[in-house]
Amino acid sequence: MTHPMIGKVLQARYQIVQSLGAGVFGQTYIAVDIEYPENPKCVVKQLKVNNMHPSYLDDLRLRFLTETETLKRLGRHRQIPELIACFEENERFYLVQEFIEGHPLTEELPIHKKCGKIWSETEVIEFLEDVLGILDFVHSQGVIHCDIKPENLIRRAFDDKLVLIDFGSIQPVDFGEDTELPIHSVPVTSLGYIPPEQFIGQTQPNSDIYSLGIIAIQALTGLSPLEFKLDPYTNEIIWHSPHIAVNDYLAAILSQMIRYDYQDRFQSASEVLHILQEMLWETDVPSIQEVEGSLLVEQPATASRLPENYKSPKSPPLITGMKVGIATNSVLLGLGMYSVFTNSPAYSEKETLYQATEEYQAGDLKEAIALVKSIPSDSKIYPEAQATADEWQEQWQIAAKNYQLLETAASAGRWSDVLRIAANVPDILYWQSKTDKLVEEARNQVEAQTQDLLAKAYESANKKDFSGAIEYLRQVPINSSAGAIVQQKLAEYDQKQKIRATYFLQKAYNKASLGEFDDAMQFLRKVPKNTPVYVQAQMKLNEYTQKQRLRSQSSKVALSRSNSAPKKSRSDSRYF
């Protein structure tokens, strides 16, 4: 039976030629653009309308405006379909998007009838890097895709790049609705890819990372997601076994991507990308035996006497835990790493330099310099020691100056400045311990101020006063721990304010078309100043004010004429 929409032309331009099926949020079709001679294909999405009540349609219209603005931003990425048009026709809402020529990822996975080949590690890593790059952009725009699955990843024909489609399920990163996702409303093709938290309305950005990890494991194992076994005690997916050809690095990364509790997973796409790059670097590092020449490394007995707060450079915890057979031995001296070769200086001279380092970190610069100067000029470490002493004196002066600025800022209650200046204090234990006390107080003060401003911003946003909410957010100190949330909320409220302004303008047009200029002007006065449609709203406000004035004048003239017309006297009326 032919679908009733096949052959229909929307906006006198987009002719429906094929139905792609229905989802939770609406129906999707392939159409051709009959305005162009070559009739290029496009994708048309019809938003589901559950009832035709005016208030429901108004809410749906606002949601439609929100989604189209989001899709416009997302479409700037070359691996996301571009939004071509959006419109309302016969109280139905439509989106027109770029059609991607290619095939879905399902055709490449080993469970598909056309492909029986298990993916290699290289193929899986290339796949992850490709899609994680897209997700990093999507999440940076403040939205979560919510339906990452093979059907929604299209291998584009002309460049073999993966394209992420079907943003019908997108949600804002910090969306306020705790709506559960009923299992019966989830498409069968999405089952197994959706993480646990999404079913209870607690979707997170790393929910998309979970789904991506499932696809990668599917490619390595040949199993569908619903075939994976679960640990009955932890609910974690059991997938890694000896017969699966995957190194421990990649296995650990994939397991981290699909942890049952979203708090235990990677928290961002960029974090996973970084770990993958670390893994590739680590596996390319030659072993110690492959290093050309012989390197005899001596570990001094006084290494434990380095400052207690000294921290050597570290790889990310996950990579550190997976290192196998990579060994490095070095002596850490003051500000840098110093490899000791067979021609190392006498032990007593090294000991002197370590003692100097201890004095310097403890706060006795004078004694530290004296110890360094006691090292003989013919010593192998003399040049290095003298350079270190010069560096110490320079860093000490910088630390003393910055600490004085810190005290001044703290006395004046400029807590944000305290945090900013503290970052410039050199890493000297003596000065850091003094700085830490002021920093702790500053953080407490800044966080208290931040929480107060955030509370006011959320309260204003709940009242739909997005201008007020934005003003409060802009007062939040830039170095507070809520910096990321503030930037995200600023973008969210700015977008909502623009959409709300557009909504008010449209309502004003509707009222004016009915001749209800007073109501139209009330909507126009609600349009905030710092929105793109404000100038247009002011022009319409002047226009409707003038029309209302002319109408009032006409009414007064008509009333005046009616009152001035000759009237029959009561005495005369009896003759009629």
DSSP letter at 46?
E
Last residue of a domain, one of 98, 123, 139: 98
**Helix-helix angle 415-422:382-411, to 10 degrees:** 180
Among 165, 171, 215, CA closest to 193: 215
Q: Within a domain: residue 457? A: no
Last residue of one domain, picked from the residues 98, 131, 159 = 98
Domain contains 492: yes
Rounded distance, CA 357 to CA 332, Å?
11
pLDDT given at position 133: 95
Clarify whether residues 340 and 377 are in a common domain: yes
Q: Is 41 inside a domain boundary? A: yes
Express each pLDDT in 446-462 by its tens digit. Answer: 888 888 888 998 898 88
Q: Give 224's contacts (C-beta < 8 A, 6+ positions apart).
A: 111, 192, 218
What is the count of structural domains for the chain? 4
Examine residue 215 and state whether it is found in any structural domain, yes or no.
yes
Cβ contact 108:127 at 8 Å: no
Q: Is 434 annotated as a binding residue?
A: no
Query: Are 212 and 306 part of one and the same domain?
Result: no
Number of continuous H segments (helices) and E segments (strands) in the chain: 16, 15
Both 268 and 406 in one domain: the answer is: no
> Where on the phi/psi map is residue 31: left (φ > 0), alpha (ψ -120 to 50), or beta?
beta
What is the structure's pLDDT at 317?
A: 43
Closest listed residue to residue 397, CA positions, set 426, 375, 372, 438? 426
Identified catalytic residue from 58, 136, 147, 519: 147
- In degrees, rounded to 5, the angle at the alpha carbon of residue 304 between the alpha carbons of residues 301 and 307 is 135
Predicted local distance difference test score (pLDDT) of residue 497: 85
What CATH code is carried by the domain that includes residue 143?
1.10.510.10
Instruction: State whether 147 and 48 are in the same domain.
Output: no
Asked if 82 and 186 sit in the same domain, the reply is: no
Per-residue pLDDT, 502: 85
Supply the pLDDT for residue 220: 92
What is the model's pLDDT at position 378? 86
Q: Let me know whether 39 and 141 are in one domain.
A: no
Identify whether 576 is part of a domain.
no
Same domain, 204 and 279: yes
Of 267, 284, 301, the one marking the end of a domain is: 284
The CATH number covering residue 93 comes to 3.30.200.20
Residues of the chain with pLDDT under 50: 172-186, 285-347, 570-576
Residue 431 lies in a domain: yes
Domain assignment present for 438? yes
Count CB-CB contacts under 10 A for residue 546. Answer: 11
Please indicate whether residue 147 is annotated as part of the active site: yes
pLDDT of residue 297: 35
Residue 260: inside a domain, yes or no? yes
Same domain, 300 and 244: no
Residues 256, 108, single domain; the answer is: yes
pLDDT at 211: 95
Query: Are 362 and 216 found together in one domain?
Result: no
**Residues 166 and 193 grouped into a single domain:** yes
Residue 408 DSSP class? H
Residues 120 and 230 in one domain: yes
Domain range enclosing 61: 9-98
pLDDT number for residue 112: 56
